[in-house]
Amino acid sequence: MAVNETERRAMTRALELAALGPRGVNPQVGAVILSPDGSVLSEGWHHGAGTPHAEVDALSKLAPGAARGATAVVTLEPCNHTGRTGPCALALIEAGVARVVYALDDPGEVSGGGAERLRAAGVSVDSGEQAETAHAIIDGWLTAQHLGRPHVTVKWAQSLDGRAAASDGTSQWITGPVARADVHRRRSLADAIVVGTGTVRADDPSLTARDGETLYAHQPVPVVIGARPTPDDAAIRRHPHPPIFHDTHDLSAVLADLHERGIQSVFVEGGPTVASAFVAAGLADRVLVYLAPVLLGGDRLALTDIGVTSIGGAHRLTIDEWVPLGVDLLAVAHPELDTASTLDTASTLGTASTLGTASTLGTEPQTEPHTDPRTEEGAA
């Protein structure tokens, strides 16, 4: 049975509801219950770990028997296991729901299989409606399920000739105000923001996500990688969240620790060395490159060594979007190869999966001032 226009509109609404939920160990999920004639009976979303799932939240707002013959439109396949709450697939069956439309399959070995259970009970099921949008909402959670680590976005700003700063180290500002505002908005969507100690010591960034002078409601947790100490009076210590410090250059270990802390999405803003290390290790799930219409020349490259010695070894990307931002242009891309196929390789690369392969870590991302040419993070 094909998805109809009423169900499509309901999925759009369910996706809006999903985004209301908190990011955390559980996915953000929204649900809309439609009557047989297509009118909305109830709505729900997942409010956090230990609370009812979206489908059950929506069903709880209905009188007993009111969902009989209804259609449930959900952003994620109804779960099929008992955790802190019971299986949503069973709740829908017991409520008498006749049809379920969902966007994404649940990848969990234990929680997946809800669609099969529904079909076995005689419920009509369709999947894949607006899957791309649903994926974007919970990409961090999906990466965590597939790879056991947070979803990693690596961002940098550069001139058209590939430089992150002028020869004297200055980089304020390569990009314009529209691009910088976009960076802050995207920061606010991440669970954590990652830099190196060279950036912290040279530039003293706040690492907050700001809308003009106002802080966004959600702030990414600041994470600092490197052996050198962060000064007691550093701006990062006044961040709304206590910083997490990692006295290591092992990126796999850093991501494993962040995963254990419940962090599902990481925004890497640590300058050329940090960006290059994540790319070289195959740990960049998404790349954001802000291109400014300026030429700088010199040797302050936006990326340093990423382990490519010949064209055959190039890290090839698929462009998801080209986004005009004032005078600048943003490229949003992801690796051609699935990240899952590179994680095991990255974890065995030794120096390639650590910051120790790079000699510098001091160039600040273009959203914070940088006027200090020091780039000696590697000499911790």
The rounded distance, in Å, linking the Cα atoms of 366 and 186 is: 14
Q: How many CB atoms lie within 10 A of CB 212?
A: 8
The rounded distance, in Å, linking the Cα atoms of 195 and 270 is 4
CA 240 to mean position of chain CA atoms: 20
Nearest to residue 29, comparing CAs of 14, 41, 42, 18? Answer: 18
334 DSSP β-pair partners: 318
Is 336 noted as a catalytic residue in this protein?
no
Instruction: Round to whole Å and give the CA distance between 159 and 296.
Output: 7
Catalytic residue among 7, 43, 55, 129: 55
**Alpha-carbon gap, residue 145 to 34, rounded angstroms:** 30
Distances (CA, A) of 234 to 192, 204, 229, 243: 18, 6, 10, 11
Pick from 268, 273, 289, 276: which is nearest to 332 by CA?
289
Collapsing DSSP to helix, strand or coil, 334 comes out as strand
Cα–Cα–Cα angle for 262, 264, 265, nearest 5°?
140
Consecutive H or E run containing 256: helix 251-260
Q: Are 360 and 304 in contact (CB under 8 A)?
A: yes
Active site residues: 55
